[in-house]
Chain A
């Protein structure tokens, strides 16, 4: 499974809700919900970068999870 690099635009687009998906992986849904709300309150580049790192780390750590893999396919489509 290919995971977009941390520098890929898709992570930032997710955090900023410029791209919206119906995800399956509960951990991703919850973390993204939290990070998107945080960034809405503080849209500074540092906050966005920190949020992107956390989202990317979640998917790296859990890339064997079947639901996470299905969601990565959506990102790669």
Chain B
């Protein structure tokens, strides 16, 4: 296992030596880093070398390979984010970090599928967060390493150019499968709803969840041609009779609640092992593809009790949302680089 969690001093040395880095850590430690060619998001939760870990002292490091030909860093607000796909190089990928619970988070989540060029170039990343005990005391941030600027209201992307013989591919790992229960369709896009159409009948969604005693640790799942896209329930407001989500539901998409998962960690690891990632994690360099980055959802971390548990080489920040072309949640997203 390659070391991925480092001290401030160790990361500072890498930066001073010109390394190009994708970082995650608590705001306090990230604030101590020198300027350089790096981007970061705040999160004290990691899948590290020794398994799931919460630390305000360590920094998760992904170092871009030497063969990367160019990088550039740009910030986005609600208006400019629409052009994000045009800023990704023709051969390369965009690495996007968005601060959680912000307007840019909501805007990207709802509008990304309508952005010009949606999915035509690899875009991945994550939503930054804070220690759950610190919610309300501090805010999630992204940091532009070029300037040292800490940003809480805009998104940040490092555009990475690859040489012609390399190709970036984004994959997703989801332990949840669409169940066989009621068909659930919403009449609006958004992070919060009141009404829902269940098997053709309009009703209040909060009432539905209570009456059916739905296990809200299970996400709603939409089937996108074989890809299960999760929508996790954040809370039920019994006063307002509304339900809020960690990612937006989309109007007219058919959702069903996920099949129950008996052993979250066991199922998670099964998925890790059966995924084609296993094909190259145990192989040699002749395999011609390597995993560069992965991130995993805080809900998987909590529900699968990943603290202290090892997940093979699937290491990376624990996030408040994952990005693979659009916002996802309760999934693991990873980036592979292929030699072609």
Contacts and interface: CB of A to CB of B under 8 A. Distances in A.
Contact of A22 (B119, B121, B225): B225
Contacts of B227: 23, 26, 29-30, 33
Nearest to B333: A26
A31 B224 CA distance: 8
A66 B170 CA distance: 11
Contacts of B226: 21-24, 29
Nearest to A32: B225
A30 B119 contact: yes
B169 interface: yes
Contacts of B223: 33
B225 A67 contact: no
A58 B120 CA distance: 5
B119 A27 contact: yes
A30 B252 contact: no
Contacts of A29: 224-227
A31 B253 contact: no
Residue among B224, B229, B253 having the largest count of chain A Cβ atoms under 10 Å: B224
Nearest to B170: A26
In which size bucket is the chain B interface?
20 to 34
Nearest to A14: B225
B222 interface: yes
Contacts of A7: none
A77 interface: no
B253 A26 contact: no
Interface string A12-50: 000000001111101111111110010011000000000
B169 A66 contact: yes
Given A27-B120, A27-B325, A40-B252, A64 B224 contact: no
A20 B326 CA distance: 22
Residue among B171, B227, B250 having the largest count of chain A Cβ atoms under 10 Å: B227
B227 to A, nearest CB: 4
A27 B170 contact: yes
Given A23-B226, A66-B338, A30 B325 contact: yes
A70 B113 CA distance: 24
B299 to A, nearest CB: 20
Contacts of B206: none
Given A37-B252, A65-B167, A66-B338, A28 B120 contact: no
Interface in B211-267: 222-227, 229, 250, 252-253
A60 B28 CA distance: 45
Given A26-B171, A27-B120, A27-B170, A20 B225 contact: yes
Given A20-B225, A30-B113, A37 B250 contact: yes
B225 A34 contact: no
Contact of B172 (A22, A26, A31, A64): A26
A73 interface: no
A35 B22 CA distance: 32
B325 A33 contact: no
A61 interface: yes
Interface of A: 20-24, 26-34, 37, 40-41, 57-58, 61-62, 64-67
Given A22-B226, A27-B122, A33-B253, 15 more contacts: A23-B227, A26-B172, A26-B324, A27-B325, A28-B225, A29-B226, A30-B113, A30-B229, A33-B224, A33-B227, A34-B118, A37-B252, A65-B169, A65-B338, A66-B338
Interface of B: 113, 118-122, 167, 169-172, 222-227, 229, 250, 252-253, 324-326, 338, 340
